[in-house]
């Protein structure tokens, strides 16, 4: 990978800043007026205008071109040269506003005001000019300057600019949640005849819905019904979206009927709003009903509706079923966009079907759609997890050649995929390349790298990564600390685990149940059950509730030390807190009773477990381990478990398979008498012997030198086909 990919991830070049443009002078404004007033007779006026106003990319060192020399005719008319008028300045200001040259516009406004000091009346920009300036400032996000232009309009003309210009400022104020200023401007627009239109009301309505004030917004538009505000489906679309955003989808759907009562038919956008929110909830049934209603009305789903349905099907069902919707989209003549393909690519990658996802990428390119980072990132991650690092690196190079710069999400997918596939060293190299490109790893990438290093037992490197995070001011979260604690516990380094745990608390992070469980597990591994119980007590004091893993770990630790009374006390506390014991909990108790030789109580616990716990197959493995602890050597236990697992995988009953595995093991270890006793005990408990049982017993007869006696143990009903099963 390093030869193919890493050399191509190079640092980004530094960009040079463009110098500011020269200021606009009154003489330049006058020349502009001359060009504009003579453009009907001067076919070369565009070139003259371009020479007069250079682009912002020109450097300060380049001198501005001289204004064009006036023709003899114009010189005879006005020998001093053309004088700048308010109309000329306004034309210049509007031109600069449309071009986004706000620095030049400010200089022009100042020059217009300064002319009054020369005995000349100051030129005032027109109302339309101030409106265009306010709109341009609002579009650039400069709400303060836009409001200043509106204030100038009030002072000069006693009125606001036209509604279209004020609406741009109103929209910006709503976007920035400046509700008081927005309402003040809206009311001022309403006070003037024609000062507010449907768009103004819709902007205010959308803002109220974003704040959850849907009823207030509904009253707002109802108060506006009349000559000044004609009802429109857009109002209902915004209201429906507001109700759905609050989780009241039912109320939003009721507005469909209200629309029809007022003579409006729902549009594709109306249905799309409801379907979008239903898709987020995964309510495919109601989505299907709305699609059927659209078909009856003669409406065809648009791209947005299809994207929502495909996304919901991918999340609730599978990518294959979502492909059916895509084919319906093709059949309806609706062309999918790149987001639609990205949704399906991501779904196939999550299901581990990377090659199908790659086919979709190629189909998108064939349709002349431009893939983006969201197209390549899931593929990079999926192929890394599969171990196809070369293919993943090719996708990354292809993405970069397409002009898309990898960001922290793309690099994070690559790092995670490499770590999952076991290539932690390569993942660290990608981290280095990220930093060379000035893309700093986030806490999630560090967590993945630390987890991978811990699994590889590379704990010093994991500690260095934690130090690096702190050095680069990337604050570790509780998951990073918990990963390190668990890694040290797994490696048997309880001392460093305790240090990380204490350092985590010093940094102000309260460990969660996973962090406490890791420490409890570590204490129990070292036989320090008293410290483990104290750790659980501390856990309760900070409001962290122990779960079944906490109790089971402690019960297992006590049982291994032969402290059955302590294990039972923990079991009682566990059940009082309504934390249900699982298979491992009971298995730990059974193992503890067998360890002290109390097999009768172990059997009682086993029988109770059968009625209390689902998943008996897993528990029988522990039962085998417990029952054979006194009779089978430790190194043979794995073989015994393999026998049991093989029987279960072949479809044999798990309970009988447990007995058969033990019988077979007893016969192997020259304990044939005990094997026969266990066979009788098995029958007395209602478990019938099967062919596997009788396969084990003849082996025992042969082992003790009595091969002719095996026939007497066969029942009369033993059939020929069962002999075939044995042999």
What's the CA gap between 317 and 311, in Å, rounded?
Answer: 10
Among the ranges given (231-240, 436-445, 621-630), the one the predictor scored with the smallest mean pLDDT: 621-630
Contact 629, 591 (CB under 8 A): yes
pLDDT of 401: 85
The reported pLDDT for the residue numbered 647 is 59
Phi–psi pair at 59, nearest 5 degrees = -80, 160
CA neighbours closer than 13 Å in the CB half-sphere of residue 393: 17
Give how far Cα 576 sits from Cα of 5, 189, 540, Å.
58, 67, 15
pLDDT in tens, 128-183: 888 888 888 888 888 888 898 888 888 888 888 888 888 899 889 888 888 888 88
Q: Which 3-state string (H, E, C) describes 224-266?
A: HCECCECCCHHHHHHHHHHHHHCCCHHHHHHHHHHHHHCCCCC
For residue 226, what are the β-bridge partners? 229
How would residue 344 be classed by pLDDT, with cut points 50, 70 and 90? Answer: very high
With vertex at residue 542, the alpha carbon angle to CA 536 and CA 544, rounded to the nearest 5 degrees, is 60
Residue 602: predicted pLDDT: 73
- pLDDT tops 60 at residue 65: no
The answer to whether the beta carbons of residues 511 and 504 sit under 8 Å apart is yes
3-state helix, strand, coil in the chain (%, to 5): 70, 0, 30
Q: At residue 688, does pLDDT exceed 70? A: no
Handedness of CA 302, 304, 305, 310 (dihedral sign): positive
Mean pLDDT, residues 208-217: 78
pLDDT for residue 439 is more than 60: yes
Task: Please write the tens of the pLDDT for every residue from 648-670.
Answer: 555 566 667 777 777 777 776 66
> What average pLDDT score do residues 263-288 get?
84
**Segment 546-580, tens digit of pLDDT:** 888 898 889 888 888 888 888 888 888 888 888 88
User: What is the distance between the alpha carbons of residues 15 and 6, in angstroms, rounded to a whole number?
Assistant: 23
Query: Which of 370-374, 394-398, 538-542, 658-662 bottoms out in mean pLDDT, i.e. has the lowest?
Result: 658-662
pLDDT in tens, 490-538: 888 888 888 888 888 887 778 888 888 888 988 888 889 889 899 898 8
Residue 541 has pLDDT above 60, yes or no: yes
- The SS3 call for residue 604 is helix
Q: Are 516 and 504 in contact (CB under 8 A)?
A: no
Q: What is the pLDDT of residue 13?
A: 53
Share of the chain above pLDDT 70, in %: 73
Take residue 689 and report the two structure tokens written for it. Answer: 């012997």
The answer to which of 235-249, 445-459, 623-637, 658-672 has the lowest mean pLDDT is 623-637
Burial 478-493 (b: 16+ CB within 10 A, else e): ebbbbbbbbbbbbeeb
pLDDT at 722 over 70: no
User: Cβ(348)–Cβ(310) under 8 Å?
Assistant: no
Q: What is the pLDDT of residue 47?
A: 73
| Separation CA 443–CA 146 (nearest Å) | 40
pLDDT tens-digit profile of 618-637? 444 444 444 444 444 434 54
> Residue 219: its pLDDT value, please?
76
Please name every residue paired with 229 in a beta bridge, in sequence order, or none if there are none: 226
pLDDT of residue 62: 45
Instruction: Between 670 and 437, name the one with better pLDDT.
Output: 437
Q: What pLDDT sits at residue 706?
A: 52
Residue-level pLDDT at 366? 92
Per-residue pLDDT tens digits for 269-280: 888 888 888 888
Q: What is the pLDDT of residues 14-64, one digit of tens each?
A: 545 444 445 556 666 667 767 766 766 777 776 777 676 655 444 444 444
Better-scored residue on pLDDT, 242 or 652: 242
| Separation of CA 362 from chain center | 25
Q: Hey, what are 540's tokens? A: 């309760």
Q: Report whether pLDDT(104) > 90.
A: no
Q: Is the sign of the CA dihedral 437, 438, 443, 449 positive or negative?
A: positive
pLDDT value at 70 more than 70: no
The pLDDT value recorded for residue 637 is: 46
How far apart are the C-alpha atoms of 492 and 269, rounded to whole Å?
61
Q: Check pLDDT > 80 for residue 255.
A: no
pLDDT at 384 over 80: yes
pLDDT at residue 333 is higher than 80: yes
pLDDT at 338: 93
When pLDDT is averaged across residues 434-458 and rounded to a whole number, the result is 85
pLDDT of 81 reads: 42
The larger pLDDT score, comparing residue 71 to residue 464, is at: 464
More confident position, 21 or 319: 319
pLDDT of residue 229: 54
Q: How confident is the model at residue 358, as a pLDDT? A: 93
Euclidean distance between CA atoms 586 and 604, whole angstroms:
11
Select from 439, 378, 431, 366 the least CA-distant residue to 408. Answer: 439
pTM of the model: 0.56
Average pLDDT, rounded, for the chain? 76
pLDDT of 77 over the 60 cut? no
At residue 716, the pLDDT reads 41
Burial of 165 (0-12, 13-18, 19+ CB in 10 A): buried
Cα–Cα distance, 580 to 574 (Å, whole number): 7
- Residue 602 or residue 638, greater confidence: 602
How distant is the alpha carbon of residue 118 from its chain centre? 64
């Amino acid at each position: 990978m390093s030869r193919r990919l890493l050399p191509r991830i190079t640092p980004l070049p530094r960009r040079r800043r463009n110098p500011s443009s020269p200021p606009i002078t009154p003489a330049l404004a006058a020349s502009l007026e001359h060009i504009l007033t003579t453009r009907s007779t001067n076919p070369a006026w565009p070139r003259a205008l371009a020479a007069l106003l250079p682009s912002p990319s020109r450097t300060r060192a380049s001198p501005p071109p001289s204004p064009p020399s006036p023709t003899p005719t114009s010189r005879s008319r006005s020998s001093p040269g053309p004088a700048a008028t308010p109309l000329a300045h306004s034309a210049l200001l509007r031109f600069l506003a449309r071009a986004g040259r706000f620095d030049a516009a400010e200089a022009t406004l100042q020059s217009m005001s300064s002319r009054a000091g020369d005995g000349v009346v100051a030129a005032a920009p027109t109302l339309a000019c101030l409106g265009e300036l306010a709109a341009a400032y609002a579009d650039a996000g400069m709400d303060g300057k836009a409001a200043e232009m509106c204030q100038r309009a009030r002072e000069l003309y006693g009125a606001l600019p036209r509604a279209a210009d004020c609406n741009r400022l109103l929209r910006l104020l709503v976007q920035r949640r400046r509700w008081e200023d927005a309402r003040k401007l809206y009311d001022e627009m309403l006070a003037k005849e024609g000062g507010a239109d449907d768009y103004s009301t819709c902007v205010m309505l959308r803002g109220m819905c974003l704040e959850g004030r849907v009823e207030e917004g509904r009253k707002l538009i109802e108060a506006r019904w009349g000559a000044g505000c004609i009802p429109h489906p857009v109002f209902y679309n915004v209201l429906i979206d507001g109700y759905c955003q609050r989780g009241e989808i039912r109320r939003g759907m009721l507005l469909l009927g209200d629309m029809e009562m007022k003579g409006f038919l729902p549009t594709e956008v109306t249905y799309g709003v409801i379907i979008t929110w239903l898709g987020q909830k995964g309510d495919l049934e109601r989505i299907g009903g709305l699609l059927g209603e659209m078909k009856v009305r003669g409406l065809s789903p648009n791209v947005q509706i299809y994207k929502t349905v495909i996304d919901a099907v991918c999340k609730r069902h599978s990518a294959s079923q979502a492909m059916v919707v895509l084919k319906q989209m093709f059949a309806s003549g609706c062309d999918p966009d790149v987001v639609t393909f990205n949704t399906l690519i991501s779904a196939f990658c999550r299901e581990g079907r990377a090659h199908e996802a790659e086919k979709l990428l190629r189909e998108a390119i064939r349709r002349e759609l431009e893939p983006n980072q969201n197209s390549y990132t899931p593929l990079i991650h999926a192929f890394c997890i599969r171990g196809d690092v070369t293919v993943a690196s090719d996708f990354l190079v292809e993405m970069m050649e397409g002009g898309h710069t990898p960001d922290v999400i793309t690099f994070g997918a690559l790092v995670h995929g490499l770590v999952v596939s076991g290539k932690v060293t390569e993942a660290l190299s990608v981290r280095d390349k990220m930093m060379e490109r000035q893309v700093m790893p986030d806490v999630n990438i560090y967590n993945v790298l630390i987890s991978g290093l811990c699994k590889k037992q590379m704990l010093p490197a994991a500690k260095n990564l934690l130090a690096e995070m702190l050095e680069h001011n990337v604050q570790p979260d509780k998951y990073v600390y918990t990963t390190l604690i668990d890694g040290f516990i797994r490696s048997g380094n309880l001392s460093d685990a305790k240090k990380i745990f204490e350092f985590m608390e010093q940094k102000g992070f309260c460990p969660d149940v996973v962090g406490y469980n890791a420490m409890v597990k570590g204490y129990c591994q070292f036989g320090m059950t008293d410290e483990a119980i104290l750790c659980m007590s501390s856990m309760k004091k900070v409001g962290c509730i122990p779960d079944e893993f906490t109790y089971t770990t402690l019960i297992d630790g006590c049982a291994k030390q032969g402290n059955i009374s302590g294990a039972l006390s923990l079991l009682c506390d566990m059940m009082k807190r309504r934390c249900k014991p699982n298979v491992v909990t009971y298995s730990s108790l059974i193992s503890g009773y067998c360890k002290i030789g109390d097999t009768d109580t172990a059997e009682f616990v086993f029988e109770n477990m059968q009625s209390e716990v689902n998943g008996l197959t897993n528990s029988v493995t522990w039962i085998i381990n417990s029952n054979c602890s006194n009779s089978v050597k430790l190194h043979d236990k794995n073989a015994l478990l393999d026998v049991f697992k093989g029987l279960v995988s072949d479809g044999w009953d798990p309970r009988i398979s447990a007995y058969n595995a033990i019988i077979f093991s007893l016969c192997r270890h020259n304990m044939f008498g005990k094997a026969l006793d266990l066979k009788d005990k098995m029958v007395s408990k209602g478990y019938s012997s099967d062919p596997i049982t009788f396969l084990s017993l003849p082996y025992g007869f042969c082992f003790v030198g009595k091969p002719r006696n095996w026939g007497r143990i066969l029942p009369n009903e033993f059939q020929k086909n069962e002999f075939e099963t044995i042999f």
